[in-house]
Structure 1
Amino acid sequence: MPSKINFMSPLEAVSILKSGDHVHLSSVASTPTILVNAMCEYAKANGLRDIHVHHLHTEPPAPYADPEYEGIFQHDAFFVGKNVRKQVQAGYADYIPIFLSETQNLYRSGVLPINVAMVQVSPPDNSGYVSLGTSVDATLAAIERADTVIAVVNRDVPWALGDALIPLSAIDRFVEHDEPLEEAIPAQPNEQELAIGRHCAELIEDGACLQMGIGAIPNAVLSQLGNHKNLGIHTEMFADGVLPLVEKGVINGSMKATDRGKIVSTFLMGSQKVYSFIDHNPNVLMMDVGYTNDPFVIARNPRMTAINSAIEVDITGQVCADSIGTTFFSGVGGQVDFIYGASRSEGGKPIIAMPAITSKGVSKLVNTLKVGAGVVTTRSHIHWLVTEFGAVNLYGKTLQERARLIISIAHPSAQEELDKAAFARYGSHYHFVK
């Protein structure tokens, strides 16, 4: 480690905090836990109040959102992970609804002030640069605009390229602490998810550029692409499922119009294999979220295929992906960015993929969304809808045509009730599916 870096303790590093400050935390696998804990300790011990904490999804515990810190911290995240979901639902924490592509603009435009950015970085190279590793997203914008940048220098942060590289001069305070990044064990798809994956894989053409997130359904899709050719990746995130396809040469980016030959992402969440894969890898670019999630950048890639999930979809095609009634789940995220971007792409396919029924036997295809449900993708944006029972294209279809198509891929136990609801809604001109 270069001797010119003046390391300090975590408590000393956060001692610049004051009441009313706005703090940004780097996200997902790279949340600086040691600074989070020091921030909570320092703020409580020194009687600080009304510190606003902003971030995208974070994996580790989030003590600042607990009732114990009410009045000290105000959690105003851009995305709600499982570590703060109960607190948001209980009112101890809050959420700013926003497209993922615009999170960086909250800082750059000055809509949100940013006093302190807390991040993790790799050790510096001989040129005096460090890498943000797995978390560029809105973190780069926070670093650009923050009054003070505090960085944990961690040997376990991979050396990612692209917008991840920043000069040491962009950082004001340094803490040295080596700790493995948070990992996510790859989810194993069940038969229901494998069926969804098969239907999605059938829609993916050779030469397509893919966006999909993390979880069992993306893994199910990726596991069935082994015979495809010349696929590319332009996404907000990727995980372990892409690695076998890269090794096999299926994913090579040769048909992309932007960043040809490169995998483009803005944050990561996976196993250590993923973090090792991006380390000093010239074929992976970790980019600012204003680039990865810009619908017009996305649309430049031909055959852009975006696969996103949902909680509920009604028979008009409204997609709920953030909340059911008063139960809050996540947030808008990047779904609309990629659904719209893929719809503008030449030969693009925006896809909503979801199980037709929950593990408790409740249909996820419904007549009307529950009261309070958040519409993330509108009925005007939706194209392809996929369940384990098939794939239907709703683009250009009337409301009655949509109802018939959506009901056709509902669970058989729900079809009759949905048919009756559609008949009650549209009258005698509507004809039952059966």
Structure 2
Amino acid sequence: MSVQSLYQAKRMSAADAIQVVRDGDTIVVPTGVGEPPALLTALSEVRRNYRGVRISQILPLRKYGYIDPETVDHIRHDAYFFGGATRPGGQEGWIDYVPAYFSELPMLIKRGLTPADVVFSLASPMDEHGYFSLSLAPDYTMAAVEKARAIVLEVNPNVPFANGDCHVHVSQIAALTESSDPLLEVGLPKIGPVQEAIGGYVAEMIPDGATLQIGYGGIPDAVVMQLTHKRDLGIHTEMIGDGIMSLVEAGVVTNQRKNIHRGKMLATFALGSKKLYDFMHRNKALEMHPVDFTNDPHLAGQNDNLHCINATMQIDFMGQCGSESLGPKPYSGTGGQADFVRAANRSNGGKAFIVLPSTAKDDTISRIVPTLTPGTHVTTSKNDINYVVTEHGVAQLRGKTAKQRCAALIAIAHPNFREELRAAAKKLNLL
């Protein structure tokens, strides 16, 4: 049977395509924009017909009908990482959480430690050879494709056909449905003077020829804005967004000084504008790969001068970072922060930056604290931390004693809190 015949045989409405789901199944959905809205909407509409179904995903962007405390016995969300749609449920306890490094989610799926019975994903149109591209987020989804009983694709002409290890053949899928809605666009975060100051400190420490991993947020984007005078930068990241695209357009990204995958940008998911998604389409300089490839600290760390920029919400005198919870209350997730901190630490000439404003809530709370708020989930450990940057400067902690770390962090805290922090440090015998 030809690939076009297979396509037509498996083409159906979203309502029919979701019939592959059985009670007790776990459905794996890609990160962010890769989520298939027609399929998840159709499933939500009949959610009361199911029992014990779970949907596992990082960073859902829409609040579908199934994200409902009244129907969790029918369909429940399991978060690999909380977003705005699922954070309230996580904090209230009716959405569960799977703690894991982003890089290790494919391994957990392959070994059956976390289930993957069905895959729902957005996909590009099929090429002449019968392949679809899961370009927006191959992340852990490609591992689930290998493991799942049934793969269901939502084919949308707005999804780019990207290069890399992100392709699924029509013979592998159980069903497909078609949609043509515009892809969800995520704008650049707001950048204020604090973010700009932090970005300036980081940008100054990034040399020509560095390979970059840049997370999402106002501070990472403030760094990007101040790199347009650099030369021969490379990209090995988990997320590709409009900031990285702007560096490519400025001519500062060549990828020619990378040690591995020279000439190529690597990422595992995309989050940005229509312009970004168009930029990804058959771009020979970009490859989208599973997250156990992009975020593997050993692989990424083979690039000399790997510079990684990630944000945290709170850091204590020892250098422990609470980047994913407010005390015991979940806020986001582990994601790839620890993966890339370790990768940069392995890299010859690499630097791992943890960035944060010095205060929260209109300068009423210091984000640099003697000890983390009780119950805080530690994301980056004291043994992995290296550079910490606020709007008041840079503290380099790796290799330093506890007392040296404490003094360096107090020096970049907000001036209004430094005396209070010094007094606390003396009580802890750190000053």
TM-score bucket of the superposed structures, by smaller chain:
over 0.9
Matches within 5 A, 1:349-428: 349-361=351-363, 362-426=365-429
Aligned to 1:251: 253
User: Helix, strand or coil for the counterpart of 1:74?
Assistant: strand
Aligned to 2:274: 272
Aligned to 1:178: 180
Aligned to 1:82: 84
Q: C-alpha distance in 1, partners of 2:21/2:360?
A: 45
Q: CA deviation at 1:74?
A: 2.5
Decide whether the 8 Å contact of 2:234 with 2:256 is kept in 1: yes
Decide whether the 8 Å contact of 1:120 with 1:152 is kept in 2: yes
Q: CA deviation at 1:115?
A: 1.3
Q: Letter of the aligned partner of 1:193 in structure 2? A: Q
Instruction: Give the counterpart of 2:293 among 291, 294, 318.
Output: 291
Q: C-alpha distance in 1, partners of 2:335/2:31?
A: 13
- Deviations for 1:168-222, whole angstroms, at most 9, x for unmatched residues? 1121101111111111111231000000000010111111100011221111000
User: Helix, strand or coil for the counterpart of 1:350?
Assistant: strand
Q: C-alpha distance in 2, partners of 1:226/1:176?
A: 40
Q: CA deviation at 1:138?
A: 0.5
Matches within 5 A, 1:102-121: 102-121=104-123
Q: Letter of the aligned partner of 2:409 in structure 1? A: I
Q: C-alpha distance in 2, partners of 1:3/1:28?
A: 31
User: Helix, strand or coil for the counterpart of 1:181?
Assistant: coil
Aligned to 1:150: 152
User: Helix, strand or coil for the counterpart of 1:313?
Assistant: strand
- Deviations for 1:303-357, whole angstroms, at most 9, x for unmatched residues? 0001110010011111000101232111110000000010000000011011001
Q: Does 1:224 align with 2:211?
A: no
Decide whether the 8 Å contact of 1:65 with 1:92 is kept in 2: no
Aligned to 1:163: 165
Q: Letter of the aligned partner of 2:322 in structure 1? A: C
Aligned to 2:60: 58
Count of residues in Structure 1 that have an aligned counterpart in Structure 2: 426
Aligned to 1:35: 39
Q: C-alpha distance in 2, partners of 1:336/1:188?
A: 25
Q: CA deviation at 1:42?
A: 2.6
Instruction: Give the counterpart of 2:139 among 129, 137, 158.
Output: 137
User: Helix, strand or coil for the counterpart of 2:81?
Assistant: coil
Q: CA deviation at 1:9?
A: 1.2
Between stretches 209-218 and 189-198, larger displacement belongs to 209-218
- 1:70–1:326 Cα change, 3 Å: same
Decide whether the 8 Å contact of 2:134 with 2:167 is kept in 1: yes
Q: C-alpha distance in 2, partners of 1:87/1:43?
A: 17
Decide whether the 8 Å contact of 2:228 with 2:247 is kept in 1: yes
- Deviations for 1:92-125, whole angstroms, at most 9, x for unmatched residues? 1011000000111121111123211001111111
Q: Letter of the aligned partner of 2:384 in structure 1? A: H
Aligned to 1:346: 348
Q: C-alpha distance in 1, partners of 2:350/2:63?
A: 38
Q: Letter of the aligned partner of 1:274 in structure 2? A: L
User: Helix, strand or coil for the counterpart of 2:359?
Assistant: coil
Aligned to 1:128: 130
Q: C-alpha distance in 2, partners of 1:20/1:220?
A: 45
Equivalent pairs: percent with the same residue?
38
Decide whether the 8 Å contact of 2:328 with 2:377 is kept in 1: no
Q: CA deviation at 1:55?
A: 1.0
Q: C-alpha distance in 2, partners of 1:64/1:103?
A: 23
User: Helix, strand or coil for the counterpart of 2:58?
Assistant: coil
Q: C-alpha distance in 1, partners of 2:58/2:247?
A: 28
Decide whether the 8 Å contact of 1:232 with 1:256 is kept in 2: yes
Aligned to 2:338: 336
Q: C-alpha distance in 1, partners of 2:77/2:142?
A: 20
**Structure 2: any 5+ residue segments left out of the alignment?**
none
Q: CA deviation at 1:3?
A: 4.9
Decide whether the 8 Å contact of 1:62 with 1:84 is kept in 2: no
Q: C-alpha distance in 1, partners of 2:277/2:187?
A: 13
Q: CA deviation at 1:82?
A: 1.2
Instruction: Give the counterpart of 1:324 among 311, 323, 326.
Output: 326
Decide whether the 8 Å contact of 2:47 with 2:66 is kept in 1: no
Q: C-alpha distance in 2, partners of 1:104/1:172?
A: 21
- Deviations for 1:334-381, whole angstroms, at most 9, x for unmatched residues? 000000010000000011011001142111101111111111101110
Q: C-alpha distance in 2, partners of 1:238/1:11?
A: 32
Decide whether the 8 Å contact of 2:27 with 2:116 is kept in 1: yes
Normalised to the residue count of structure 2, the TM-score between the two structures is 0.97
Q: C-alpha distance in 1, partners of 2:113/2:273?
A: 35
Decide whether the 8 Å contact of 1:8 with 1:175 is kept in 2: yes
Q: C-alpha distance in 2, partners of 1:3/1:155?
A: 19
Q: C-alpha distance in 1, partners of 2:181/2:214?
A: 28
Q: C-alpha distance in 1, partners of 2:190/2:83?
A: 20
Aligned to 1:190: 192
User: Helix, strand or coil for the counterpart of 2:342?
Assistant: helix
Q: Letter of the aligned partner of 2:22 in structure 1? A: K
Normalised to the residue count of structure 1, the TM-score between the two structures is 0.96
Decide whether the 8 Å contact of 1:188 with 1:219 is kept in 2: no
Decide whether the 8 Å contact of 2:45 with 2:65 is kept in 1: no
Aligned to 1:242: 244
Q: Letter of the aligned partner of 1:363 in structure 2? A: S
Q: Letter of the aligned partner of 1:90 in structure 2? A: E
- Deviations for 1:125-184, whole angstroms, at most 9, x for unmatched residues? 111111112111011111111100010111011111101222111211011111111111
Q: Letter of the aligned partner of 2:424 in structure 1? A: A
